[in-house]
Amino acid sequence: MILNKFSYILKSFGLKSECSEIKTITSGHINSTYKIIYSDGSAYILQQINKAIFKSPEKIMSNIDNLCKYFKDFSCFPRFILINGKNYLTVDNEIWRIYRYIGNSVSYISLDDSFKLYEFGRTLGNFHNTLKNADISKFYVTIENFHNTAMRVEKVIYLTDKKFSDYTGFFNNILRYVKKLDMKKLPLSVAHNDVKCSNVLFDSKTGKGLTLIDFDTVMPGLHVHDFGDGTRSACVSNNKIDIDKLRAYSKGYFSVIRASQEEEYFLGMLCICAELSARYLYDYLSEENYFKDKTPEEKLKRADELIKISESIIEKENEILSVIRSAFQVQ
Ligand code: GN1
Ligand code: MG
């Protein structure tokens, strides 16, 4: 990208066009993200939305705008700079957005200490609590069938049947659990839909959870999927669910969320983890190349890891249920 374009974009957002550093942030898989640093120490997160994945970026930004209304009293929350009343800018048919970098914060790709796991759970719980009464009709579905586990698993079974039949048994078994979750008929809520520890900011001094970030997939969904997504990203050691980590995370989450049905959360954990394995395996077996920054070998490796985690969730069902149940009792 030509430097001039950055200068133009920054200026359009009402910022100084000359900055001292532009760092490319590579942790996300979909959008292009840059940290813009100015000589006075202030910094911003600038992103270009990937339109190949997000077909209607305006709808994503409308969802984010709606989301922000519920969090207006939160001191720590990413707030996109408005330009002509909109929270994004179109340049050469591409969508750009920017928010002030949240200082003294840090995120992690994995978590080991129980305080941070508790804080991760509590931060997600606060997010869900704040959206408890949110009007889902105001939120667009920006990716159809995003967490339609049955559809994603059936799609991969169609391919594994032909080329990778060893995997078919695992995915057929998952469909049984998906049915169980469907039968609960859980209500749709405004959900984050991409909960993972790298999408949580912690206070770099105190270790307390500050906020979730990355709201591109905020849309109607299931809170038990969000809960489960957090466990598959943070409550794992050696590709197995880690019961001690799960205990800390669940205590944090249920310190703010009232619940009584542990099986829903267990099913949310298993379905979302298996769903992501299906997505990686499908990407490996098909021509889709959705996870464009991963090599075929990396996709297969990630699919295998997620299958191992899913199998350990099935194996430890009773322990998981009891850990979640006792987290309810902490209230
Ligand atoms: C993608 O781009 P990123 O890392 O925020 C994906 C998530 C997956 C995640 C896997 C829109 O998120 O669903 O869980 O990769 N987002 C989309 O780490 O597909
Ligand atoms: Mg994301």
Asked if the model's pLDDT at residue 318 lies above 80, the reply is yes
Share of the chain above pLDDT 90, in %: 93
Cβ atoms of 272 and 142 closer than 8 Å: no
What digits encode the pLDDT tens for the residues 246-284? 999 999 999 999 999 999 999 999 999 999 999 999 999
Q: Kindly report the protein residue whose alpha carbon is nearest to atom 1 of ligand 1.
A: 29
| Residue 4 pLDDT class (50, 70, 90 cuts) | confident
Tell how far the Cα of 193 is from the centroid of ligand 2, in angstroms.
8
Tell how far the Cα of 13 is from the centroid of ligand 2, in angstroms.
24
Q: Give CA–CA dist 192/172, Å, rounded.
A: 27
Ligand 1 closest atom vs CA 27: 4
Tell how far the Cα of 215 is from the centroid of ligand 2, in angstroms.
7
Sign of CA dihedral 184, 189, 193, 196: negative
Ligand 1 closest atom vs CA 214: 5
Q: Give CA–CA dist 291/283, Å, rounded.
A: 7
The number of C-alpha atoms within 13 Å of 105 and in the hemisphere containing its C-beta is 19
Residue 47 in contact with ligand 1 by CB distance below 6 A: no
Residue 162: the pLDDT is: 85
Find, among 145, 159, 147, 132, the residue nearest to 267 by Cα.
147
Residue 123: the pLDDT is: 98
Asked if the model's pLDDT at residue 186 lies above 90, the reply is yes
Residue 114: the pLDDT is: 97
Name the token pair of 218.
């905020």
Asked if the model's pLDDT at residue 331 lies above 80, the reply is no
Asked if the model's pLDDT at residue 299 lies above 80, the reply is yes
Cβ atoms of 196 and 235 closer than 8 Å: no
Sign of CA dihedral 149, 280, 219, 155: negative
| Residue among 25, 27, 30, 48 whose CB has most ligand 1 atoms within 8 A, to mutate | 30
Residue 29 in contact with ligand 1 by CB distance below 6 A: yes
Average of pLDDT values for 25-38? 92
Q: Give CA–CA dist 53/42, Å, rounded.
A: 31
Residue 28 in contact with ligand 1 by CB distance below 6 A: yes
Tell how far the Cα of 41 is from the centroid of ligand 1, in angstroms.
30
What digits encode the pLDDT tens for the residues 95-146? 999 999 999 999 999 999 999 999 999 999 999 999 999 999 999 999 999 9
Residue 133: the pLDDT is: 92
Average of pLDDT values for 50-78? 95
DSSP 3-25: HHHHHHHHHHTTS-S--SEEEEE
pTM: 0.96
Cβ atoms of 199 and 226 closer than 8 Å: no
Ligand 1 closest atom vs CA 53: 11
Cβ atoms of 128 and 219 closer than 8 Å: no
* DSSP category for residue 30: S
Average of pLDDT values for 161-175? 94
Find, among 254, 262, 268, 273, the residue nearest to 318 by Cα.
262
Name the token pair of 171.
């995915």
Average of pLDDT values for 59-74? 96
Count Cβ atoms within 10 A of the Cβ of residue 79 and give its class: 0-12 exposed, 13-18 middle, 19 or more buried. Answer: middle
Q: Kindly report the protein residue whose alpha carbon is nearest to atom 8 of ligand 1.
A: 194
Residue 53 in contact with ligand 1 by CB distance below 6 A: yes
Average of pLDDT values for 158-185? 95
| Residue 22 pLDDT class (50, 70, 90 cuts) | very high
Asked if the model's pLDDT at residue 306 lies above 60, the reply is yes
Average of pLDDT values for 70-86? 94
Residue 102: the pLDDT is: 95
Q: What is the largest CA-CA distance in the chain?
A: 59
Domains along the chain? 2-103 (3.30.200.20), 114-330 (3.90.1200.10)
Tell how far the Cα of 7 is from the centroid of ligand 1, in angstroms.
29
